[in-house]
Amino acid sequence: MSKMNKTFKLVTAAFAAMVVSTSAAFAAGDLVKAPKQDWSFNGPFGVFDRASQQRGFQIFQEVCASCHSLEYIAFRNLTDIGFSADEAKAVAAEYQVPSEPNDEGEIVDRAAKPSDFWPSPYANAKEAAATNNGKAPPDLSLMAKARVGGADYIYGLLTGYEDHEGTPENLHYNKYFPGYYIAMAAPLSDGAVDYVDGTPNTVEQMAKDVSHFLMWAAEPKLEDRKSLGVRVMLFLLVLTFITFLAYRRVSKKVKGH
Ligand code: HEC
């Protein structure tokens, strides 16, 4: 056997072993992918559902914000999801943010303005971790883009808690969380908030609304992107038609000669 041939065989064998071992590793864990949900923002004509976004904001504000920050969303961005400028201002005023250092060099908290970004509930990452059994709650601004499955994953995570024997202390079993054991206790329970619009406040409904809201937080321009896509497709369609007409005219003339 030539040397070249031998190397080739070795490489293929190594590759085969790699494939076998990785597929075995996949088979060992039975992590289920969060099922796909029927979101209004799916598909080429997708748009956000304003009512669901606003309910989702309520969930974020009343439940998630006690542990999670939303650092890329400013209070004034709430006008995107149907709040008036005054309402956004009123929401901002409920929060305190660190000010610029004063003449003595001290930083004192002041009421937030609409242009301020959503503050973290913790003074720093160390405090965030120390308060949550060593795992700092991650920022949620881009979460719906950062995780495989996006909004489906967040919805799955919020509804995927189960009792499981052998779950380590201070951790919680979640069938959609990679590794299963998550430091976040199930944040939602039936009736956790009161919806002003009378929507049933079940865990599923609240999970759906907050996932919808977080999808907007991660991609506020989703509607613009989709409607631009549709307009470009229409334009190309018309252009194709005109080109076809021009082609027919020219080819008629050519054949006529
Ligand atoms: C009591 C504090 C607390 C509350 C309230 C809370 N979380 Fe968490 N969350 C955590 C912690 C801690 C982690 C980190 C968990 C880990 O990595 O094990 C986390 C992680 C997450 C993650 C990331 C999971 C991943 O794939 O890494 C998402 C998404 C999330 N939380 C969403 C939410 C939403 C939505 C709400 C509100 C409905 C919420 N959380 C409420 C503490 C909290």
Distance of CA 109 to the CA centre of its chain: 30
| 3-class DSSP state of 17 | helix
Confidence category of residue 63, pLDDT binned at 50, 70, 90: very high
Give, for ligand 1, the residue of 57, 68, 203 to mutate: max count of ligand atoms closer than 8 Å to Cβ: 68
Rg (CA), the chain: 26
Given a contact cutoff of 8 angstroms between Cβ atoms, the answer to whether 46 and 222 are in contact is: yes
Do the bridges between strand 96-98 and strand 109-111 make them parallel or antiparallel, or are there none, so unpaired? antiparallel
**Topology classification of domain 37-73+117-220:** Cytochrome Bc1 Complex; Chain D, domain 2 (1.10.760)
182-199: pLDDT as tens digits: 999 999 999 999 999 999
- Report the distance separating Cα 152 and Cα 40, nearest Å: 13
What's the pLDDT at 17? 59
Which residue did the predictor score with more confidence, 32 or 16?
A: 32
Ligand 1: residue of 67, 152, 153 to mutate (most ligand atoms within 8 A of CB) is 67
Separation of CA 253 and ligand 1 centre (Å) = 69
Index of the ligand 1 atom closest to the CA of residue 147: 26
Mean pLDDT of the chain: 90
Neighbouring residues of 115: CB distance < 8 A, sequence distance ≥ 6:
74, 75, 76
Q: What is the dihedral of CA 190, 118, 136, 179, to 10 degrees?
A: 60
Q: Quote the pLDDT of residue 114.
A: 97
Determine the pLDDT at residue 133: 86
Angle between helical axes of 203-218 and 50-62 (0-180°, round to 10)? 100
pLDDT at 28: 42
Tell me the C-alpha distance between 242 and 148, whole Å.
42
Give the per-residue pLDDT at 27: 44
Cβ count within 10 A of residue 69 = 21
C-alpha count within 13 angstroms, C-beta hemisphere, residue 183:
12
- Look up residue 233 and give its two tokens: 């497709």
Q: Whose CA is nearest to atom 41 of ligand 1?
A: 64
Q: Is the pLDDT score of 20 beyond 70?
A: no
Residue nearest atom 11 in ligand 1 by C-alpha distance: 137
* Structure-derived torsion over alpha carbons of residues 85, 90, 91, 93, reported in degrees to the nearest 10: 120
For residue 104, give both structure tokens: 């003595």
pLDDT of 32: 81
What DSSP state is assigned to residue 114?
T
31 Cβ neighbours under 8 A, 6+ residues apart: 175, 176, 178, 180
**Model-level pTM?**
0.84
pLDDT tens column, 93-145: 999 998 889 999 998 999 999 999 999 999 899 999 999 989 999 999 999 99
CA 61 to chain centre: 16
CA of 218 to the centre of ligand 1 (A): 16
212 CB under 6 A from ligand 1?
no
Q: How is the chain split into domains, by residue range?
A: 37-73+117-220, 222-257
Residue 7 has pLDDT above 90, yes or no: no
Any atom of ligand 1 within 6 Å of the Cβ of 184 = yes
Mean pLDDT value across residues 52-70? 97
What is the pLDDT, as a whole number, of residue 14?
62
Question: How far apart are the C-alpha atoms of 172 and 152, rounded to whole Å?
Answer: 20
Residue type, 147: R
